[in-house]
Structures are given as C-alpha cells and as structure tokens.
Structure 1
Amino acid sequence: LSLPGVAPLLCAGITTYSPLRHWKVGKGHKLAVLGLGGLGHMGVKFGVAFGAEVTVLSSSPSKEAAAKQLGAHKFVVTSDQEQLNSVRGTFDFILDTVSAEHDLNLYLSLLKTNGTHICVGVPSKPADVSAFSIIVGRKSLAGSMIGGLPETQEMLDFCAQHNIVSDIELIKIQDIQKAFDRMIKGDVRYRFVIDMASL
C-alpha cells in the first residue's frame, strides 16, 4: 500500500477499526457513521468492508457525494427533521466520530432496541444524557479509544487485503502553517501527511 495513505491508519484507522471489530459489526447490521472527517471516512471504509449497510449522518448536505464515493449506502442530513425521522429506531450501531458538541439523546433515538452508540470523537464538554434515552430500548452508550499492537497489525493486514488506505493530502513541512490553518477551518480531506523528504 502507499505509505502516505497508510500513515493515518496508525491513528484514525485503528481508532475506528477497533470498536467495529470489538462489537463484531458486519453483514446484516445497519451502521451509522456520525461525522465525515478523518475518523468518519475510515469508519465508512471499514464498515463497508465488514459487510454492514452504512449510512453517513452529517450536518453538511455537501458531503453526500463524498460519502457515496467512499462506499456509504445512504446519507442523512441531520438538520433535516424529515430525514432524521425516517431513520429513527433503525440502526444497530452508531459510530460517533464528532468532536464538536452534539445532542447524544437525539442520536440514541436512532438506534434499534439493544443498539449501541460508540463514541470515538472527543467533545470538549461533558454530554448531557437522559436516562430515558438508554433505558427505553435497552440501548448502550459506549466508547473506544485505540487498539494495541496485535490489533493494529491485524488492521494493517486487513487493509492490505482490501486495499484500504486513508484519503490524504501530502504536504511539505514548509507548508505546515498553511495546513494547520486549513485544518482549523475543516478544509482537509481527510488527513494531512507530511512528506519527510521535504525536511
């Protein structure tokens, strides 16, 4: 595989691979990936490769084409109440990659009975979760951070077999400030990788 595309697998890749493997997400499951960024785009790739039906949940309608290009089967605009209502109570799993504040109660309502909401994004403020959001439907709110060395090797082997890499922009070290400014604005698809030959 292309090494620049492999580099983010050691962070964004294993962060999304590990929980999907732990909860055995695969064929017959409906997986929603909340947020389509550095983590979210890897969640889509892995979910599809594992055989799940993948829906991207995003507040940005403009990301639909990118989601479908990554292999997502469906796309739901979270600011569109009608679209949200159409998927209420339908997902087995939600992989939550969002680090901005968002309403977990809203997304927990999209899960089936016994569904699991898996947090891998890290918002700066604690979430406010109603007990009714989890006790109605026996839902689980869970989290996952990263995997150990054996699981990381397993992920790399899986990626090699399925030709999966991160979508990246290769930059020179001299352009690091421009890249940082773009990252703050959310203007990157989906990871910057520094070409060490430019040092």
Structure 2
Amino acid sequence: MKTIGYAAQDAESPLAPFAFERRALRDNDVAIDILYCGVCHSDLHMTRNDWGGAIYPSIPGHEIIGRVSAVGGDVTHHKIGDQVAVGTIVDSCQHCDQCLKHEEQMCREGVTLTYNGRDRITGDLTYGGYSKQIVVREEFVLALPKGLDPARAAPLLCAGITTWSPLRTWNVVPGSRVGVIGLGGLGHMAVKLAVGLGAEVTVITRSDAKAADALALGAGRVLVSGDDAAMQAAASSFDLIIDTIPVGHDLSPYLGLLDVDSTLVIVGALAMMDSYSSLPLIMGRRRISGSPVGGTVETQEMLAFCAEKDILPDCEIIPIQQINHAFERMERSDVRYRFVIDMASLA
C-alpha cells in the first residue's frame, strides 16, 4: 500500500513529507485510514534521538484514531467503516503469561512499538500515525466508543492509558486520596480520570501559577511543593501519588506525603533520577513504583469509561504542516494540554 507521512530523516532534520509503503494485509490485519493523531512528548524525544536507539527515517505517532478501510480474511472484531483506535503497541508474542492475561505491554518477548519498532515477521521498521494509513494486527485495534469525539480522543491512547493504568492497579475508588505531580499532558489526564473515579484529587506543583487550571480540571486543591509549611501539613495524606514530571528530578520532597503502605508511581520520566533518602520509605512502609501504558483490555476499558463520563483531553487541533512548530512549542510547554493532528491536512 503506497502512502505518505511526515518523517525525520535524522536527529537534526525537521519532519517533512515522506512517501513509503505499508505492508500488504495479512489474514489477521486491519487497514486503517488515519483521521487524527495525537502528538506525544515521546514523539519529540524519539525523532531527536534523545533516548538513543532511534531508527531513521522515523515517522512518529502512537495516538491514532481512524476508520477501517480493509480487513484480512481472519478478522472478526472489526469491519470496514468502523471507527477505531490504535495506541503505542501494535504487536506482542501473544503466548507468554503476560500476553495471555492481556497485559501485552509486559510481553516477555518484548513488544512491537507502533513506530521505531521492528515487525515481528519481516523485521521491517514500523512507521507511526503521522501518516495517511496504517496496517495493524487485529488484536491491537480498539473500538472507539460512540460518544467520544474522534478529534479529541487520540491522546487517550497514550496520555490517557498511561495515567489510567496506575489508578486501576492501585485500586483508586471514591474517596481515595490521589496526588498528581505536574499538570501537563499526562497530569491533566490523571486529574480528569481520578476525579471521574470519585477520588479526592490534589495537584502538586512548584508554584501556584497553575492553581486555577488545576481547579478547573476538577482537582479539589493545589499543594505548592515550595511551600514548606503546606508540605509539612500534608504529610502522610495520600494513598497514591502519580508523578508525571517528564525529566529526572528529586523524589525526596514527595515521599513523606504518602500515607502508610501507599505508593508514588512514576509515569513521566524515562531518565536517571536524583538520589533520595530511604528513611521515609522504611519508616512509613511506603513504595516507589513505575508504570507504562496498559494492555488492550485495560485500554478498551479506559475508552469506555471516558465515553461514559464524558472525559476527553484538552486539545489544540493542528494541520500536519505545523508539526515542527508544535514540537518547538512543546519544548517550552506552550500547549494546553495536547496537540492533535487533523490528518485530513495531509494531501
């Protein structure tokens, strides 16, 4: 299938139009015309090789909303015309213990990423959603529930599930006391989803500059981490803290905020973290953990929950021709809170 996307040819070059071919449909494949694609901070990091291991040409994009255009002979869950969603993973081994319980993101043999990965059969480089079409194994194509605006739903496939998964893993229920560190793309979704679950939500931030935004998103209060008195007063007051800060940082100020047997879960930083004292962990039987995206069943559950509760990310819709400018704005945190590309702009 001949198609077109926007690709980086190396770590220094801007994204530009790039013609390429998608694979022919296998019996268990779904072909999708892409309608919208979210712009994730990891797209910027990957195309610029900030983490190392980038493969070029690189077509980013792993928050995909589209319409089924063709299906393989063995496909049973999707039909032509269905609106569907694809996230950060497009394949896994499907037979290990983690895959069998639909925790494909934990696949023992490693996942196939939507972009910058390798096809499990051919070894070909995978290309992402900044393109007109994509071909994906049926098991990793999710149904888009009715009632979810397709123009705003795309970031749910990464920012949404990345923050939903720890809320479910650590059993957040009505009345749970949840702290959210940071109020960017991940943080604003953590607030919305935790509020939707009935939690008492506090945004933890370095200053009160985002206080009005946090309260508007549904948070009950704002805790300024630079206010020593307020931090001391908040000691042992959280059941779960979701840390969405995207760079390495010191965890020490936050550990004492956890109650006994409570957890701080890192979802934002793929980085070396500053050292911290183990004393608060030992004395409070507290935990530090991490969490990636969720599996297919959990992601479908999250989409259904968002449709039921009318939860969507706050988005700025852009044409693909503005993607390099959007990357520049992301670097200076000049977006509330996610960019989404209208792929109709890609002629």
Q: TM-score range by the shorter chain?
A: over 0.9
- 1:109 partnered with 2:242: no
Higher relative contact order (CA 8 A, sep 6+): 1
CA contact (8 A) 2:250 2:273 kept: no
Gaps of 5+ in 2: 1-147
* Alignment deviations for residues 23-51 of structure 1 (CA, whole Å, 9 cap, x no partner): 11122211100100000001001111111
Q: Among residues 227, 239, 246, which one is paired with 1:80 in the alignment?
A: 227
Partner of 2:278: 131
* SS of equivalent residue, structure 2 residue 249: coil
Partner of 1:172: 319
Q: How does 1:25-174 map to 2 (within 5 A)?
A: 25-174=172-321
Q: Whole-Å Cα distance in 2 between the matches of residues 185 and 123 of structure 1? A: 19
Q: Whole-Å Cα distance in 2 between the matches of residues 193 and 143 of structure 1? A: 26
CA contact (8 A) 2:225 2:253 kept: no
Q: 1:38 to 1:59 in 2, by over 3 A?
A: same
* SS of equivalent residue, structure 1 residue 56: strand
> Structure 2 counterpart of 1:182, which letter?
R
Q: Whole-Å Cα distance in 1 between the matches of residues 232 and 249 of structure 2? A: 17
| Greater mean deviation of Cα atoms: 123-132 or 84-93 | 123-132
* SS of equivalent residue, structure 1 residue 85: helix
Q: Whole-Å Cα distance in 2 between the matches of residues 12 and 88 of structure 1? A: 28
> Structure 2 counterpart of 1:154, which letter?
E
Instruction: Look at both structures and tell me which one has the larger radius of gyration over its CA atoms.
Output: 2
By how many angstroms is 1:176 displaced?
1.2
> Structure 2 counterpart of 1:66, which letter?
D
CA contact (8 A) 1:28 1:53 kept: yes
Q: Among residues 318, 327, 330, which one is paired with 1:183 in the alignment?
A: 330
CA contact (8 A) 1:168 1:193 kept: yes
CA contact (8 A) 1:98 1:123 kept: no
CA contact (8 A) 2:223 2:231 kept: yes
Q: Whole-Å Cα distance in 1 between the matches of residues 246 and 195 of structure 2? A: 23
Q: Whole-Å Cα distance in 2 between the matches of residues 99 and 49 of structure 1? A: 24
Cα RMSD after superposing both structures: 1.1
CA contact (8 A) 1:15 1:145 kept: yes
Q: Whole-Å Cα distance in 2 between the matches of residues 155 and 46 of structure 1? A: 9
More helix by share: 1
Number of residue pairs aligned between Structure 1 and Structure 2: 199
Q: Whole-Å Cα distance in 2 between the matches of residues 26 and 104 of structure 1? A: 25
Q: Percent identity?
A: 51
Q: Whole-Å Cα distance in 1 between the matches of residues 231 and 269 of structure 2? A: 23
CA contact (8 A) 1:38 1:191 kept: yes
By how many angstroms is 1:121 displaced?
1.1
Q: Whole-Å Cα distance in 1 between the matches of residues 342 and 297 of structure 2? A: 27
By how many angstroms is 1:123 displaced?
4.7
Q: Whole-Å Cα distance in 2 between the matches of residues 131 and 68 of structure 1? A: 33
* Alignment deviations for residues 76-104 of structure 1 (CA, whole Å, 9 cap, x no partner): 11112122122111111101111223221
* SS of equivalent residue, structure 2 residue 318: strand
Q: Whole-Å Cα distance in 1 between the matches of residues 322 and 246 of structure 2? A: 25
Partner of 1:12: 159
Q: Whole-Å Cα distance in 1 between the matches of residues 244 and 273 of structure 2? A: 15
By how many angstroms is 1:4 displaced?
2.0
TM-score using structure 1 length: 0.96
